[in-house]
Amino acid sequence: MNLFGRNFLTLKDYTREEIEYLLDLAMKLKVDKKKGITGDRLKGKNIALLFEKPSTRTRCAFVVGARDEGGFPEYLGKDDIQLGHKESVADTARVLGRMFDGIEFRGFKHSTVEELAKYAGVPVWNGLTDEYHPTQILADLLTMREYFGKLEGLNFVYVGDGRNNMANSLMIGMTKLGVNMTILAPKSLHPSEELVNLCKGYAKESGAKLNISDDLDAVKGADVIYTDVWASMGEEDKAKERIELLRPYQVNKELMDKTGKDSTIFMHCLPAVKGYEVTEDVFESDKSVVFDEAENRMHTIKAVMVATLGREDDK
């Protein structure tokens, strides 16, 4: 499958087959790395890493992934360039596109990464925006496939803020790959009707089911319980009201027991605010696979870079 030159902005832009190809490639790269085998698929490629928001996993995954394959990543924080301030996004994109072979962006407005992709002339990858976080979903899917040996037919429940970038992206990824998806959130934090209808279309095509609920009993039969922070970056001023609203939706032992399955795993994109969206005992339990997810960020991000920027004869 040839994804050379493609942007990676949201999983809406990728077919089920293309997503599965990226997961297969990530698994191959992961197996190789465990054997001490790295490559040169990105040899001579210079990669710009634009960060408006701070990061641990995304930044490190792009840096290590690029270096493993012979690339040269350059970190550019919000104080290093004039993105959208002294210089327009379009002009910045055209400058960086002349100097770099690929551009990663992690920031606030999704329109910024779309504008970078429009004008850069090189592959642009979304490391996170307020609306979508597609590289995280690839890591989540890979982790689930490792634990269950499959994706299709699994029951996945996301608990918490049902209209943030993680809920949006998980809903797209799961319904495209045949995973039964439930958003469990208070009604005021349910996802947009427009996105729900889009994902219902994906679900119909893949054979998955999509359920939006505010009833805690919706976790029954879940193979995966997933949560995220109650107030995303940029929403810290809403933390108090979110805590009051989402306290009943905390992932704790009682909620995990409600699934009725001993095999249910707990997932979180990190960083976690333990004692709020998840209790310490669940986070540290043998059901928790959060650090496998974190590691898989690197393998899946490496796969995205290799597939879209790597040498075409070596994929």
* 82 annotated to bind ligand: yes
Q: Compute the distance between CA of residue 230 and CA of residue 228 in angstroms, rounded to an integer.
A: 6
Rounded Cα distance, 240 and 230, in Å: 10
Assigned domain for 30 exists: yes
Residues 246 and 176 in one domain: yes
Q: Is residue 70 located within the same domain as residue 171?
A: no
Which one of the listed residues 68, 110, 130, 136 is annotated catalytic?
136
282 pLDDT more than 50: yes
Query: Is 228 annotated as catalytic?
Result: yes
CB atoms within 10 A of CB 197: 10
Using 50, 70 and 90 to split pLDDT, how confident is the model at 231?
A: confident
pLDDT at position 203 over 80: yes
Q: In this structure, is residue 94 part of a structural domain? A: yes
188 labeled part of a ligand binding site? no
Can you tell me whether residue 48 is helix, strand or coil? strand
Asked whether residue 59 is marked as a ligand-binding residue, the answer is no
pLDDT band for 233, please (50, 70, 90 cuts): low
Annotated active-site residue 41? The verdict is no
β-partners of residue 213 are 184
pTM for this predicted structure: 0.96
55/194 same-domain check? no
Given 59, 228, 242, 250, which residue is catalytic? Answer: 228
Domain count across the chain: 2
Indicate if 228 and 305 belong to the same structural domain.
no
Do residues 107 and 197 both lie within one domain? no
Please check whether residues 176 and 239 belong to one and the same domain. Answer: yes
Q: Is residue 2 part of a domain?
A: no
Q: Which domain holds residue 22?
A: 11-133+295-314
Specify the pLDDT at position 129: 97
Check whether 66 has a pLDDT greater than 90.
Answer: yes
Shared-domain flag, residues 165 and 227: yes
Asked if 242 and 185 sit in the same domain, the reply is: yes
The three-state (H, E, C) secondary structure of 207-273, written as one string = CCCEEEECCHHHHCCCCEEEECCCCCCCCHHHHHHHHHHHHHHCECHHHHHCCCCCCCEEEECCCCC
Residue 187 lies in a domain: yes
In a domain? residue 5: no
Q: Which residue has the tokens 């992690």?
A: 106
Q: What percent of the chain has pLDDT over 70?
A: 98
**Is 199 one of the catalytic residues?**
no
Question: For this structure, is 269 an active site residue?
Answer: yes
> What is the reported pLDDT for 313?
47
- Asked if 70 and 111 sit in the same domain, the reply is yes
Average pLDDT over residues 18-46: 98
- pLDDT at residue 312 in the model: 55
Residue 3 belongs to a domain? no
Identify the CATH number of the domain in which residue 92 sits: 3.40.50.1370
> Are residue 163 and residue 242 in the same domain, yes or no?
yes
Whether residue 6 lies inside any domain: the answer is no
Domain-located, residue 1:
no
Same domain assignment for residues 128 and 143: no
163 catalytic? Reply is no
Asked if residue 146 and residue 83 are part of one domain, the reply reads: no
What percent of the chain lies above the pLDDT cut of 90?
92
